[in-house]
Structure 1
Amino acid sequence: MTIHSALNDFKRVRGSDRLFAGERRSTTGFFTGLEDRLVHVSPDGAIGDYSYPLSGLVGVDRSRFGVEIDGTVRWFDDGDQRYVEGTAAVETVHRVAGRRLVQYDLAIGRLHLTHFVLEDGTGETERGSLDRSDAPSDFGSDAGTPTIQACFGFAPEGRTGRVGQLRHDGIVEVHHDSERDLLAASTDFEVTSQMPETFDELLEAGPTALPRSSDDGRYEDGRLSPIILASVELEGATPRTTIATLLTDAEACDRADALDRVRAGPLDHPTRDSLLEAGRTQTRRLGLDRFRRSETAPAGAFEDLRALQLLRASSGSRIAGPEFDPYYRYSGGYGYTWFRDDAEISRFLLAADRRAELGLEDWHEASARFYTDTQRSDGTWPHRVWPHSGRLAPGWANGRLERGSGTSEYQADQTASVVAYLATYLRVVDPSAEYVRESLLAAKDGLDASLEDDGLPTRVQNAWENMTGRFTHTAATFLEAYAALARAPLPERIGDDAAERARAVYDALETLWVPDRGIYALRLDGDVLDDRLDGSTFALASAHAEYDRLEGGVDDERLDRLVSHHETTIEGLARDPDGPVTGLARFESDPWRVRDQDDPKIWTVTTAWGAHAAVELESLLSDRDHAAAANFGDRAATLLEAVGPDGSLRRSGGYLPEQVFDDGIADSAMPLGWPHALRLATATALDE
């Protein structure tokens, strides 16, 4: 997102009671791109790249499509969208003057294809007979050759200035330094130069729509702009064309090869059928097609895994969600790999795979290698990194990297989450993985450095990244990490010490117990217990389950306290407003992004987390014949339903947004990876 598009959005939606001005939202529309490129297709058909974290390339910042007939251009408005045939190909149906013009989008590697087909006068298209609108058509037989008007605003390396255009034979290239963004089509097209907004236009009260005026008459304008307006012919008895954009890096792909690739893209996929076959081939190659046919995968597994694949880089790590706030106007950004989120996703996928035989072995190994490659010399992991390179990304919790800085500006739960995954991976997937074993030995030192003599982790930042203290959630992740280390095939002295530290954390959790409320506190802040309900404390369930497998040492009093804590937290965070949604808030009195809403918003993460905690407790309690076991099974099923395939928190495409207003409007990042993995792990556990 460039400052031009951010300011235009700010002008369009400022004052809205639901939209946050200046963002690049993905809460409507669909994504395509299961590999190095992530492309959003808006309901009006406009495409935009969210690709930088996955590939290091920026690509299309904004675009707009329309159709011209007989000199009149009709720009597309909201269309009907869906995924086609279990692929990542997006279909958008535009209704223009009583006719259907159907758009198909598919990203393959760093190539993106947009295919348009206009139904003929009998209602026939490439895919056969279609329902036709009753509205009369003004596309008469003498209307002339229709053309697609395609306006692209590229931003190579995030720039709209100091860029240039090259006009090759039937190809346009926009470049800055190393990034080259190319445009081609399967049919003839003409190019008109478009200039970015002037300073005066940026200062005007209203937004500037694309396409805008042509160049200012200066000789060089047409070749020093990132904006292209292409008039692309629709050809054939059934008028159609395919438009391609390709993102390349000059250091990895020379110009001649890039030109050949972008030219071949639309020529190899000139029809709907050829594009959809490419989509089917892609899902087979990535192994996603098997989840649709699996007899062991739970309902919704394919949609969950497709969403996670969309967010996944070739390194194996994932962004938290598509970047909707790149200027940090309302948040600290989302298009990065957090080790907490990613390792939790990895753990949930590993658990789901072991139950339902999903065949995710390659994913598990890629995650293990990414974590070991990005580990710091002190055994810990930093706040967040770029998934395409593993290099440090901007963050605010890197106290362990800053010389002389206190360690409270550090999120110790991130390291603990990675340790729990790697220890489980070493034990159940590949006990011979020496690189994992070496990483765990160093990671234990990193954990130990953050554990105080009283058995609780030191003062650090929390999972929600909005306060510091000594948190129940952080302690739970340490309990699980140490228990997992003690169970892993490590040297005996390491396992014994890890078990001893797990017992210390287990005992120290009593410090955080709040008798009056029957819960574990959100945090210990100095000498004061912050006794608010907190959804991240659902981590206590899986932590105690892991500890019980190690020691069999969860005593009856602790079981009763876990029951009380989870019952109270689930009931206290439950939101069932008059609107169409139900679920759990993040924590008690959460003020973030509520706008004019009095109560905290519903979060899909805490809703799915509550379901997962309930099913973990149900298993633990059943082993002890505890009377509350059945109740937690019911709670798990009810919460899971809200994020399930037909749940109130699900959106088109099977996506789960991070947050939802009481009126059902989605907010923040969508899809968000963490709740998708939580949901899948919980669904497989309930099926089992």
Structure 2
Amino acid sequence: MQLRDALNDYKRHRGEAARFPGERRTTRGLFAGDAGRLVHVDSDGRVRDFGYPLSGLNGIERSRFGLCVADSSEPVETSDADPGEADSDDPHVTWLDDWETVEQSYHADTAMVVTRHRAGDGEVVQYDLTLDDAHLTHFDCDGLTAGDDGTKPTLIAYVGFAPDRQETQLGQLRHDDACEVFHADEHDFFGSATGFADLQGRVPIRFEEVLGPDAVDLPRPLTEGRYEEGRLSGDLVGEVPVESGGATLVTLPTDATETGREAALGRLTALADAHHDTDALVTAAENARSDVLRRASEDDVPDTAVPDLRVVSLLSAETGLRIAGPDFDPFYVYSGGYGYTWFRDDGEISRFLLSADATYDLALADWHARSARMYCRTQCADGSWPHRVWARDGRLAPGWAHGRLEAGDDVDYQADQTGSVVGFLAELLAERGDDLDADLDGEIRETLADALAGLDETLAEDGRPITCQNAWENMTGRFAHTTATFLDAYARLADAPVSGAAREQATESAESVYDAVDDLWVPERGVFALREHDPEAPPDQDHATAGADDESALDDRLDSSTLALVGAHRAYDESDATRSVDSERLDRLVSHVETTIEGLHRETPEIEGLIRFEGDDWRTRTQGREKVWTVSTAWGANAAAELAGLLAEHDDPRAERFAERARHLLSLVSVGGALSTAGGYLPEQFFDDGTPDSATPLGWPHALRLATVARLDADGLLDVDSVEALADD
């Protein structure tokens, strides 16, 4: 997103109660993507690239598509500046975003997006498919009638590029039926299967328009008619002939240092020639469907597997690392950005996928291996992992919690990220070690040895992690969630096929952390505290700290991240090396989960789910109270499922009560549930009026949803019919 676009959106949406002006939202529409190219198809048909964090190429910045049907007796009205130009206010151009979108969905279990536009008796069906680094948009116009004199429609395609993330200092090269837009390294190619009847460049929004009070409709017309305007811009307006009822556009962003011009043009032409009609795109989409989605679509796998695995795949770079979600706020106006890999999120997703794969045999071995390899290669010298990295290559990315890479203390460090990665690597080695090649097996063992030392270094003498930042990245202290990730990591390491000394050390540390969890117990509320707060630690953005005058004080607010304690205790209980969870701890976990889920529950006429934590005011806009989060709701479902299984293993009759709780919360985040978009995506947050907000789709809750279904199923506690019925209600 460029600054002009952000300011234009700001003018359009300022003052709205449930939208943050200046963002590029993905809360409606669907994504097509492959090999690091991530293309958003809005429900009105506009397409835009979000793949820069995955590939380093920016691609399409803005677009708009329309149709022109003119009678031969009445010439098309055009700008005086350029006869033949189709302007945004041309009475003969009807923009598809002004039509009704009657349906948008994926074609079967592929990643091709199908959008149906309708106006009156006319219908246009738009197909968007990404093949490796190329994106194809095909328009099937068979549902349109011709003009009064039989004139066939012409497609008007407005596409704006920002190579190297630049909106000025750009140039164009014309190549027969294609155009190349470039700045330095990135060269973006645009072509059509039926060529162009006309192709014009357009300049960006002018300074006086940027400073003006009103938003500017795009595409802009040519203005002064300066001869250079049409060649020094990333915006193009093309008239594309519709032949045999259809038209196909192809875009191809490239790195000129890796792909030459002739090779790029050859690929563009070949793609256009091979995908000139609907049947060709459908065949290509089905052929490009991954083995993972093929397996996920089979009858013995739950219906949630395809949408969840599709989302995780879309957010993945070729390295195997994943961005948290599409980067909707690139100027960091309302957030710190989402287009990066957090090792907490990514490690949890990897572990959830490993769990689901164990239940359903989802053919994810390559995914697990890629994740493990990148975790080994991105580990810091002290055995920890950094705050966040670029998904495309694992290099350090901008962040605010790189304390262990700096000369200061470790407070600006998120120890749970290291715990999450260790938990996955240890489980992978224990459960899938025979499937790993020898080199990767050795890398993982070395990485875990260093990670164990790193965990021990950040474990205080009392058995809990030192003061650091929390999972939500808005507080410092000694957190229950961080403690849970350490308990899980140590318990899994104790069972992993590592050295005897490492297993012994991990067992000892797991026992120590298990005992220390009781230090967080708050009997007055019947929960484990969010954190123990150190009064001498730097202040954080959350000032609701209990007992700040005490030497140390427990923050007893309810927090959904503390639900991670349940899964960690189950891992501890199932470990052959550690003690079983005792009856008192079981009672405390039962009380904690019940109190937390009930206390964080929010229901309005439009939505139902769990808020993040008590007193959370982030991105609330004008709402005045906490928002519902899909991660928190899915976490509640997962914790209830894990607790149900743990209780069942201890022959505790309370198991079914929590299985029912898990099924109910699962229904809220299921496809068709209160917290799922029309396209089946899980946004990060919702306003009380039902407006989705923030990163959409967010990978973490999708993986949580899949793992919760798998856990309930493996424990014999999944009632698919009841979950689907609750979601439909």
Aligned to 1:305: 309
Match of 2:172 among 159, 165, 176: 165
Aligned to 2:516: 508
Instruction: Within 5 Å, give how 1:478-517 maps onto structure 2.
Output: 478-517=486-525
| 1:571-612 Cα deviation digits (max 9, x unpaired) | 1111122x2321111111211112232431111111111111
1:653 Cα shift?
A: 2.4
Contact 2:185 2:255 in 1 (8 A): yes
Aligned to 1:155: 162
Task: Verify: 1:175 aligned to 2:195, yes or no.
Answer: no
Aligned to 2:213: 205
The one-letter amino acid of 1:568's match is T
Aligned to 1:411: 414
Question: Within 2, Cα distance between the matches of 1:120 and 1:506?
Answer: 65
Question: Within 2, Cα distance between the matches of 1:625 and 1:442?
Answer: 39
Aligned to 2:723: none
1:515–1:379 CA distance, 2 compared to 1 (3 A): same
The one-letter amino acid of 2:574's match is R
The one-letter amino acid of 1:79's match is T
Runs in 1 of length 4+ with deviation above 3 angstroms?
A: none
Task: Verify: 1:261 aligned to 2:267, yes or no.
Answer: yes
Question: Within 2, Cα distance between the matches of 1:635 and 1:145?
Answer: 58
1:558–1:326 CA distance, 2 compared to 1 (3 A): same
The SS at the match of 2:187 is: strand
Contact 1:615 1:686 in 2 (8 A): yes
1:621 Cα shift?
A: 1.1
1:211–1:422 CA distance, 2 compared to 1 (3 A): same
1:615 Cα shift?
A: 1.2
1:19 Cα shift?
A: 0.8
Aligned to 2:651: 625
Contact 2:200 2:236 in 1 (8 A): yes
The SS at the match of 2:26 is: coil
1:286 Cα shift?
A: 4.4
Task: Verify: 1:74 aligned to 2:94, yes or no.
Answer: yes
The count of corresponding residues between Structure 1 and Structure 2 is 666
Question: Within 2, Cα distance between the matches of 1:183 and 1:643?
Answer: 39
Aligned to 1:374: 378
| 1:465-498 Cα deviation digits (max 9, x unpaired) | 1111110000110111111111111111111111
Contact 1:303 1:653 in 2 (8 A): no
Question: Within 2, Cα distance between the matches of 1:99 and 1:425?
Answer: 54
Task: Verify: 1:560 aligned to 2:587, yes or no.
Answer: yes
1:85 Cα shift?
A: 2.1
Aligned to 1:6: 6
1:43 Cα shift?
A: 1.7
Question: Within 1, Cα distance between the matches of 2:410 and 2:629?
Answer: 29
Task: Verify: 1:572 aligned to 2:581, yes or no.
Answer: no
Match of 1:333 among 326, 330, 337: 337
Aligned to 1:216: 224
Aligned to 1:293: 298
The SS at the match of 1:119 is: strand
Q: TM-score, normalised by structure 1?
A: 0.95
Q: TM-score, normalised by structure 2?
A: 0.90
Task: Verify: 1:447 aligned to 2:421, yes or no.
Answer: no
Instruction: Within 5 Å, give how 1:43-442 maps onto structure 2.
Output: 43-70=43-70, 71=76, 72-77=92-97, 78-80=100-102, 81-96=104-119, 98-119=121-142, 139-189=146-196, 190-214=198-222, 216-236=224-244, 239-283=245-289, 285-295=290-300, 297-402=301-406, 404-430=407-433, 433-442=441-450
1:120–1:647 CA distance, 2 compared to 1 (3 A): closer
Question: Within 2, Cα distance between the matches of 1:430 and 1:501?
Answer: 23
Aligned to 1:547: 572
Contact 1:193 1:215 in 2 (8 A): no
1:97 Cα shift?
A: 5.1
Question: Within 1, Cα distance between the matches of 2:113 and 2:57?
Answer: 22
Contact 1:170 1:188 in 2 (8 A): yes
Contact 1:215 1:222 in 2 (8 A): no
The one-letter amino acid of 1:407's match is D
Greater mean alpha carbon deviation, residues 640-649 or residues 57-66: 640-649
Match of 2:625 among 599, 603, 609: 599
Task: Verify: 1:678 aligned to 2:683, yes or no.
Answer: no
| 1:222-278 Cα deviation digits (max 9, x unpaired) | 221111111111112xx2110000011112211110011111112110011100111
1:36 Cα shift?
A: 1.8
Contact 1:69 1:143 in 2 (8 A): no
1:219 Cα shift?
A: 2.9
Question: Within 2, Cα distance between the matches of 1:85 and 1:266?
Answer: 23
The one-letter amino acid of 1:76's match is L
Contact 1:658 1:668 in 2 (8 A): yes
Q: How many percent identity over aligned positions?
A: 52
Question: Within 1, Cα distance between the matches of 2:8 and 2:478?
Answer: 43
The SS at the match of 2:345 is: helix
The one-letter amino acid of 1:470's match is R
Contact 2:467 2:477 in 1 (8 A): yes
Q: CA RMSD in A?
A: 1.3
Question: Within 2, Cα distance between the matches of 1:573 and 1:95?
Answer: 42
Contact 1:74 1:96 in 2 (8 A): no
Question: Within 1, Cα distance between the matches of 2:633 and 2:411?
Answer: 28
1:143 Cα shift?
A: 4.7
The one-letter amino acid of 1:168's match is H
Question: Within 2, Cα distance between the matches of 1:260 and 1:28?
Answer: 34
1:199–1:140 CA distance, 2 compared to 1 (3 A): closer
Contact 1:427 1:487 in 2 (8 A): yes
Aligned to 2:637: 611
Aligned to 1:458: 466
Gaps of 5+ in 1: 122-136
The one-letter amino acid of 1:321's match is G
Contact 1:304 1:654 in 2 (8 A): no
Contact 1:608 1:639 in 2 (8 A): yes
